[in-house]
Amino acid sequence: MDRTGADFYNVVKMVKERLGAPAVPIQIPIGAEGDFKGVIDLVEMKAIVYTNDDFGKAPDITEIPDSLKDLADEYRVGVVEAAAEQSDALMEKYLGGEELTRDEIVAALRQATIDMKIYPMLCGTAFKNKGIQPLLDSVIHYLPSPVDVEGIEGINPDTDEANLRLPSDSEPFSALAFKLMNDQHVGNLTFFRVYSGTITKGSYVYNATKGKKERISRIVQMHANKREEIDQVFAGDIAAAVGLSETTTGDTICEEKSPIVLESMSFPDPVIEMSIEPKTKADQDKMGVALSRLAAEDPTFRMYTDTETGQTIIRGMGELHLEIIVDRMKREFKVEANQGKPQVAYRETVTSEAKARGLFKKQTGGRGKFGDCTLIVEPNETGGGFAFINDTVGGSIPREYIPAIEKGVRDAILHGTVAGYPVVDVKVHVVDGSYHDVDSDEISFVEAGRMAYREAMGKAHPVILEPIMSIEVVTPDQFLGDVIGDLNRRRGMIQGQENGPGGTIVVKAKVPLAEMFSYVSTLRSMTQGRASSTMEPSHYEAVPRNVADDIRAKQGK
């Protein structure tokens, strides 16, 4: 409310019109911009004025100023009517001319908020803490506590049967680990949310996801960047544990006698990558440690070393994701690094069946090398990954050399034949071959498998696959044509559109990730900042021929 141009009543109107949300102001402001002095509580019908200090710690609770009395009475009617509509008894009382009590209004508004029938609106300013205390009180009064929601359902890992845990301290302990963080003072912190039961520090817990038993040495409650040591947590609490080395994001911890696995979060594979290198020799070791810790904290962040170029490649869910990772390396781990441009994580696959023979034969005077195998490469179903099948008969290749052939193939699929990208969704059958009693060994069959696979891959009409994103754009009606036109220019396929809240249109489309760099900035400028978009990975799809030619040309350079 202290911002230039702040207008509470206009925001209430916009929330109702543009978002279509049944907003119910339970406060109105006293003043605005530089003259903002406090708020009027429409439930208590008192003024909360901040005049004594600059930090809003000691507000004065006073009577409503005469100049705002009529306006407060007008908005009070909306609060009372919203409460009365929640039950027949309250409505009867209200229509009968009786005043609803403060407790009746609070209870009715709370239930209506939990049922999402109304949205209480408050105002204030965080800069000088004006209106912050009533805001926190409203969180307690109106938002649901753990006991207001239904029990959580999980699976008993021993019986695979559904299991319901109620949000009660008397139930067996169960919690979900939802975040890992490295703290420079206490080490690894595992944040968890308790769904049932209680646990004390020093207790043993059972990681039902991994089947491991661990000890919680300390429990801390986090307040921003400050920690408070506590002895026990209860149902509904969020805390952080010290001492859990095996537990990662999405794991369930519980009592060993009453195991349960709660629904874990699913994380899509990263779709964008960039190269990164330390600026100095001193940063080399520190960068490895920093990236390892960041990867442990964030399941959507991956890192690997490219064996051909020797570069360290980091992979994530978008440009901003990787920018934040690099920024955290600088701030938290004091590692300076150079970074390459973000690149799309392309893949390769085959579109037809092909057969090839790999013969590795080497004679150097002494004992030679000999490996011979025939492979058939064919497409696997989408998402099926890599499958290796032994179809040899009659002992044409001794059984002990089959794993060596598979190793050769697995090495080869890391770099495709079109543009060098990893190969996915292929089946490889080994169907025939031969061996030499003296010269054959595992290394020879590794090479034979690699040679046969690469030749068969080249014959099987390989293609480059690109990640396709599912995107939803919420835009006001007047910008719909511009939004759809821009998505079409980005090789997007419009899936449909539907009416959104407040007269907006929701456009759903599938668009190649390669075309979506800097899309958010373009969308904002195109729609005066009024449209928003969400994007998530959908699937991989073969790229058009002209795009494939461009990708090959870039890789060639």
User: pLDDT tens, 81-98?
Assistant: 999 999 999 999 999 989
Residue 227: the pLDDT is 87
Whole-angstrom Cα distance, residue 201 to residue 335?
Answer: 35
Segment 472-517, tens digit of pLDDT: 999 998 999 999 999 999 999 999 999 887 678 999 999 999 898 8
Segment 52-73, tens digit of pLDDT: 766 778 889 999 999 999 999 9
The predicted model gives 129-135 an average pLDDT of: 92
On the question of pLDDT at 463 being above 70, the answer is: yes
471: confidence class by pLDDT, cuts 50, 70, 90: very high
Residue 219: the pLDDT is 95
On the question of pLDDT at 309 being above 70, the answer is: no
Residue 212: the pLDDT is 92
| CB crowding 454-488: b at 16 or more within 10 Å, else e | bbbbbebebbbbbbbbebebbbbeebbeebbebbe
On the question of pLDDT at 118 being above 90, the answer is: yes
Secondary element (H or E) of residue 454? helix 442-459
521: confidence class by pLDDT, cuts 50, 70, 90: confident
| CB crowding 358-367: b at 16 or more within 10 Å, else e | bbbeeeeeee
Segment 247-287, tens digit of pLDDT: 988 899 999 999 999 987 778 778 788 889 898 888 888 89
% of the chain residues with pLDDT over 90: 60
215: confidence class by pLDDT, cuts 50, 70, 90: very high
Whole-angstrom Cα distance, residue 199 to residue 192?
Answer: 12
Whole-angstrom Cα distance, residue 434 to residue 511?
Answer: 48
Instruction: Give 3-state DSSP helix, strand, coil % of the chain, rounded to 5.
Output: 30, 35, 35
If one compares 120 and 394, the residue with the highest pLDDT of the two is 120
On the question of pLDDT at 548 being above 80, the answer is: yes
On the question of pLDDT at 203 being above 80, the answer is: yes
The closest of 171, 218, 219, 178 to 197, measured between CA atoms, is: 171
Whole-angstrom Cα distance, residue 168 to residue 195?
Answer: 8
What's the mean per-residue pLDDT of the chain?
Answer: 90
On the question of pLDDT at 2 being above 70, the answer is: yes
Residue 308: the pLDDT is 59
The predicted model gives 137-148 an average pLDDT of: 90
pTM above 0.75, yes or no: no
The predicted model gives 237-242 an average pLDDT of: 94
% of the chain residues with pLDDT over 70: 98
At a CB cut-off of 8 Å and minimum separation 6, what does 489 contact?
none
Q: The dihedral of CA 124, 130, 132, 135: what is its sign?
A: negative
The predicted model gives 457-480 an average pLDDT of: 93
Structure tokens at 144: 């649901």
The closest of 276, 336, 285 to 310, measured between CA atoms, is: 276
Question: Partners of 378 in the beta sheet?
Answer: 427
